[in-house]
Every structure is written in C-alpha cells, then in structure tokens.
Chains A and B, each alone.
Chain A
C-alpha cells in the first residue's frame, strides 16, 4: 500500500510542479508582463518603473529562481487592488469555497449512494426509472442556467430566499442546491451502474444462498464492492467543485475563491490570480491523495 500511495503522490506532485513552471513561463513569455499587472493605459514610465521594482529586467533564470523562492516562502506579493498580501486574501476566500464544496459533496455522496443502490436493486422498476430520469436531466443542465432560473424563481418571484451574499443559513441554500444537481446526476448514474454489477456478482449469490436478508445484501455485501469505482468519480467531482464552483459563486455573490479569481482577472490583479491558482491546485493535490487512501482502505486487494 505504501508503494501505491507514494507512486500516486509523486504523480500529483509532478503535476503541481509543472503547473508552477507553466504559470511562470506563460506569464513571462506571452507578451509584456506589465500588461498583466498594470492597467492597459499605463504610461511607459509607469511600466518601466514597475519593471525595475519587480526585477522584470533580470534574466529569466534569475526571475524563475526568485519566483520559486517566493513560492516556497509563500510570498505571493500584495494584492494590487486590496493592498493586502495576496495569499491572505486568497485563503480567506478559500474557506468559503471549501465549506461549500465539502457540504455539497457530502450531501451528493450520501443521496447518490443510497438512491443509486436502491435503484440498482430493482433494475427497470419504477424507482429506477424515475431516478434515472432525474439524474440524466441533472447531469445535462449547465449550472449557470439553473442558478439563474433558481434566482428568478425562488428569490425574485417567490421571495423565499436571498439572491446573494452570505450571512444567514438561508444564503447557503441556493448555492448548495445548484451546485448539487450536476454531480448528483452523474454520481447516481455511476453508483447505479456499479451496484448493478456488484449485485449480479457471484459473491452476492453466495450471500443469498446463506440466507442473508435483502438489505444487508445490498448495503453490506454489494455496497463496499460497488463503491470502488464510485470513490474515484466522487473525488473527481469534488476536485471539480473546488475549481469549478466559480460559476455558482459568481452568480450568487458567494465570496469564494472562484469568484475572487474571476474578479481578479477582470480587474487585472495578477498576484491574487497566481495565489488563487496555487492554493486551489494544492488543495486538489491533497484531495487526490485522500481519495487514493480511501481506495486503499476500501479494497484489501490493494493493501495486501
């Protein structure tokens, strides 16, 4: 198991490194770097000044070294817009995104696993057909569209829920609900497929021959085997949420890292963009490792 985990950790680590390098070179090599940091109409003097202060005239290698050094000491510079350390700004926003993603993925996982398993138990039955129908629609809908429709419906017309911001628990309902739908649809389909396979396997036959009751057959014998492929998908979706909650956050004015990134892009606050990219990538890297550990815990064939 050690070998399995280290191998996977190294692969993720390499990707993190490449991301780091890629970001650096893209930011230095695609035209004038000052374009990224300064407003478009900045004067030539201002640009020259900026270049001096930030050492942009030094050879690339030196800049790269400095960049890596800063990275290691977690010094991303200051946010140009907010005059605070970029990292601080990002971490503050990241808390919100993390909370949103974790709550949503927990709800999604629970609902999809239970409903998917029940659907698989009686394939083709009424429950199965309804579940499949809803999950297909859910998996097909763009979250931004659902968000808008939800706002119009629940906030504007019915006035039940607030449109944006945070504050009360009610502010969380719509963002979570919207973020919930697509992963739920996808994961339910995967759970269903995986459980159908698990429930038609030979060891389930043995369990029935032993006289095990239907519910333990599904949830004790079938589930643990059926979960193996599902865990990977849940991990993918959770990672997607960490970087893809962008849309939901933007629409609902949720102060998460996605919204921060978009705002910073539009306001050309590059230090924050850089910091946000790094923090998110690192979070995903950790998540992948967690998933690998979960996989190893669930499947003894990997451990031994």
Chain B
C-alpha cells in the first residue's frame, strides 16, 4: 500500500472555551495524493478548516487541544515534530491560502516584499527571490509585474489580491497547497478565473490541492474527491461524481437538495399595471457614478430579481428606492406619486408600504433589543397601525408566520441561529404590513441549507399575503426558481432584463452569458461538460 502524500488519521481537536469544551472535529480521517484535488465540503461550524489549521500548526494550544490523531506527511507524523521542523515545512512543502485576502496580507509591506519573504526565510538569497517574485506575478496574471511588486495590498482589487496570495504560496513550489475558501469573498466571474488559475497551476506543478469550501458548485468544478463534514465529523466521502449522483448520508442529501437553481422556473406572468415604476434613476457620489439611468418596473405580486457583482450598483439602487440615499436624478412612481419627491411627512407614511430585509441578520437586529422590542418597534413608530393592547398577540402571530415559536418573544438575537435571525428580520418587516419588500442579498450570509428554507418562507409569504419583492442577489442560480423577472446589472448600468426564462435560456448580452457561464452547477457532470466546452474554445482552431 503506497503511502499517501498527506494523511490525516483519527484527528480529534477540542477547544476549551468560556462555555465549556467544544469538540471541533472528531475522529476525522482523509488523505491527499500528489496530483489530485480533494475538497472538504461543509457549512459553518462543521469543522472543515480545523484539520487544515492543524496541519499548518495554526491552532493555538491552549485554548485548542489536539486530543488524538496523526498527521502524516510523507509518512512522518507532523505532530511529533518540533516547532522548528514544522516551520521548515510551512511555506516550503505545504502552503496555504485563505478566504479574505485583504486582511491576510500585511497592509504595511509591499506585496513584492511579502512574496520574497517566503523564499528568503527558507534560504533563498534575496536577489534571486526578487527575480522569482516578478516571474511569479506574471504567472498568476498580475499586470505589469515589475512595477506591481512595489505596490501595497490595498492598491489591488479583490481578485488580484487572491492571485497575490497564490503567488506567495507557490513561490517555493510546495508539494501541497491548501486553499481555505479561496473564492468565497469574490465575485462570481472572478471566482471562475481564480478556480481556473488554481486548476492550471495544479496541472503544471502536479501538486496536491486541498480545497475547503461550502459551495457544491466549487466542488463540482474542481474536485476529484470530496469529504463531506457536519458537526465535526465526516459523514461521507468519495469521488465528486459518486457523491453527487448517489449521496448516502441524509445530510449530504439535504445539502444537494438545497443547492439553488434546480427547481422549476416560474411561468411567465401576464402583463399588469406596474405597482412601482422607476425611470432614469441615477446616483453620483462626487466624481463617481454608482448608478446610471436605471429603468425598471415591478408589478403587483411579482418578484423582480436584481443580479450583479460588486460595483454593479444594485445596493445603491435599493438604498435609493428607500431614500436611505438621495438619488441624483430619476423618478420612482408608486401609486401615482414620485417616491423621490415626497415630503418628509409623506415619506413617513409611505414607509408602511415598502420595507426591507437586510443582508446580515446579525448586524440588522439591535443586539440590545428583545424579539418583542424588535418586531413591535414598527408600531411604536407608526402608532396608528395597531393599538398597544394588541401588540403582544400580533407579535406572536408574526413569529408563527415566519416559522418561529411565540415563546421566543423575550429572547435576544444572539440566542438564535443565523437563519432564525433572518426570520425575525422578516417578521419585523411584515409588522408594517407592507406591499413591497426589498430583500438586499437577504440570503447571502446564510448557510446553503438555510438559504433554501428562507427562500421557501419568502415564497410562502408571497402566496399568502400577496407581497411583491425586489430581490437583490450577487449570482444567478439563487433566483432561478424564485423570481419572475430578472435584471442584470454591471458597473452601475442595467445590462439586460427579461423574464426568468429569457435570461436563463436565451441571454442576449455578453455579460449575462458570462455570468451564467461562471455560475457553477453542483453536478460534476454538468461542470465537466462546461469545462470541456471552455477548453475547446481555447484550443486554436
């Protein structure tokens, strides 16, 4: 039996926290060989990053404690080596890149210096390191490598920063590269590029790639084998294709079922009088145009999705509609009045009709207010909706409507999970009995399995209460089975709009096509086909 390049055997790690010991991973075993890509798939709290941290000696003990297991690299147990030996391996034989490149790069040193450092501390003379750095920058696709080496991390874009981290990791041609959620913080199209880069480099160098992710699409695109983790344990492992086609464990099945964009697309609706009609909406900040002349309509009971990457202007649009920002130009006709020209008194009344659910429920709920306070605040501000003696009953009703128990009235946000907090936020939005709800990336901060639940809740509420939604998202799959119409934005402009079917099956604009192509399908078969198509395009005729 050949030795694996890297093998984790029965690893268990416990963290001693203020609330008692937490067993982060239990008896985890997996292996990685040269030239293959292994993905560790899990949601937050699954312990997916812990084994990688253990390999890189990044777990602080205390409060962490490795209670059992072996980490075998080329047959030798890393846990039995001294700190010095492990530092020797770090960066040289095993390297790691992280999720958020901005915070993981030292802001006060040039990127060139930081890449050189990897080489210099492992014995390369500085002049050689300098030359290598420029070559590396070119290899990962950074423009003007000579000049760029002297710049600082904050002067690059998000995608470029991840490329820089990759360059830094690959400087000494390690045998293994560990990538911890490398694309999670990036735009969809950028993600596609980075994954492409990783694949290319992996093929070139023949190194082993360990990819940690929560995204089935990433697994489908890149991984040979996958390990699925939940609650600190491995629930399933196998090749990517196998696990997708025949999931054994209920958790895996749940994850696969929750993958967005697999359902039925809503049927086209008949044309109706629009409830909200926006024309020429623009927003300029100083010299910067965040939003340029946006036009769209929202009909009653309809769900319009606005999809765009960072810098597309979608959030600005939402903020302008709610007058959180003042638009520079444009009109928004609602019930015959222009939203942007309302007096403060009229605006105050209009608030009852249009509400918002924010992206991060942890941040959008005041941590010092109980659930009851949070939901009933609407009626404190608008006393004419409900007499005070009916508040308690109504809060209970709303909580039930969003799937929470009325007993939770007195609890505080930090006592709930992320998905539950978003439900509270939805209940709060419903308290004013609005007709339109703007969901600003309302599910982006949630785990995949929870996302599906919340979207189902929103759909249910739509049916029961006749709500209209403006649903803002940063990628397309999530809106496929939920929206009636889709608006695609880029760089402050609306690039294309149409019914769901039109956008997904017959996109006209190049950007829309790119966006669709960059969206990763959780089915490895589908991704393989797409990849083949892409490579065919690349090969010169």
Contact = CB atoms under 8 A, between A and B. Distances in A.
Q: Touching in the complex, A and B, CB below 8 A?
A: yes
Interface of A: 201-203, 205-213, 216, 221, 224-225, 298-301, 304
A212 B121 contact: yes
B95 interface: yes
B18 interface: no
B471 interface: no
B152 interface: yes
Contacts of B108: 224-225, 298-300
Contact of B107 (A203, A205, A208, A211): A203
Nearest to A124: B62
A206 B104 contact: yes
Contacts of A213: 87, 121
A93 B230 CA distance: 73
Given A224-B108, A300-B152, 17 more contacts: A202-B100, A203-B103, A203-B106, A203-B107, A205-B104, A208-B90, A209-B90, A209-B91, A210-B90, A210-B168, A211-B121, A213-B87, A300-B107, A300-B108, A301-B107, A301-B154, A304-B152
B456 interface: no
Nearest to A303: B152
Contacts of B89: 211
A203 B168 CA distance: 13
A159 B185 CA distance: 67
Interface string B446-482: 0000000000000000000000000000000000000
Interface residues of B, number: 29
Contact of B58 (A205, A224, A225): A205
Given A224-B108, A300-B108, A202 B98 contact: yes
Contact of B98 (A205, A212, A221, A298): A205
A301 B195 CA distance: 29
A220 to B, nearest CB: 8
9 contacts: A205-B58, A206-B165, A208-B57, A208-B58, A209-B56, A209-B91, A210-B117, A211-B122, A213-B87
Contact of B106 (A209, A225, A298): A225
Contacts of A210: 90-91, 95, 117-118, 121, 168
Contacts of B106: 203, 206-207, 221, 225
Nearest to B155: A304
A225 B117 contact: no
A224 to B, nearest CB: 5
B152 A301 contact: yes
A294 B103 CA distance: 23
A302 to B, nearest CB: 11
Interface string B76-91: 0000000000011111
B103 A201 contact: yes
A298 B89 CA distance: 32
B105 interface: yes
A28 to B, nearest CB: 46
Contacts of B92: 211
B149 interface: no
A60 B152 CA distance: 56
B197 to A, nearest CB: 19
A300 B154 CA distance: 9
B185 to A, nearest CB: 12
Given A205-B58, A300-B152, A304-B155, A211 B87 contact: yes
Contacts of A224: 108-109
B317 interface: no
A205 B90 CA distance: 12
B100 A209 contact: no
- Nearest 4 Cβ contacts at the A-B interface: A211-B90, A210-B91, A211-B91, A202-B103
A212 B165 CA distance: 16
Contacts of A298: 108
B198 interface: no
B503 interface: no
A212 B83 CA distance: 11
Nearest to A203: B106
Contacts of B88: 211
Contacts of B58: 205, 208-209
Given A209-B58, A209-B95, A211-B88, A203 B104 contact: yes
B505 to A, nearest CB: 42
A206, A211, A224, most chain B CB atoms within 10 A: A211
Contacts of B402: none
Nearest to B96: A209
Contacts of A212: 87, 117, 121
A104 B109 CA distance: 30
Nearest to B118: A210
A209 B121 CA distance: 12
A206 B122 contact: no
Interface string B142-175: 0000000000101100000000010010000000
A225 B98 CA distance: 20
A225 B103 CA distance: 12
A221 to B, nearest CB: 6
B167 to A, nearest CB: 12
Contacts of B57: 208
B528 to A, nearest CB: 32
A206 to B, nearest CB: 5
A62 B122 CA distance: 74
Contacts of A207: 106
A206 B155 CA distance: 19
A178 B42 CA distance: 59
Interface in B410-445: none
Contacts of B121: 210-213, 216
Interface in B166-190: 168
A284 B100 CA distance: 41
B56 A208 contact: yes
A300 to B, nearest CB: 5
Nearest to B168: A210
Nearest to B90: A211
Nearest to A205: B58
Contacts of B118: 210-211
Contacts of B168: 206, 210
Nearest to A221: B106
B414 to A, nearest CB: 22
Contacts of A201: 103
Contacts of A299: 107-108
A212 B89 CA distance: 11
Contacts of B103: 201-203
B74 to A, nearest CB: 17
Nearest to B110: A300
Nearest to A206: B104
Contacts of B91: 209-211
Contacts of A221: 106
A206 B99 CA distance: 11
Interface centre among B58, B88, B106, B109 (most CB of A within 10 A): B106
Contacts of A203: 103-107
Nearest to B108: A224
A206 B114 CA distance: 10
Tell which of B56, B108, B121 has the most Cβ of chain A within 10 Å: B108
A301 B151 CA distance: 11
B164 to A, nearest CB: 11
Interface string B295-323: 00000000000000000000000000000
A154 B91 CA distance: 55
Contacts of A225: 106-108
A212 B92 CA distance: 11
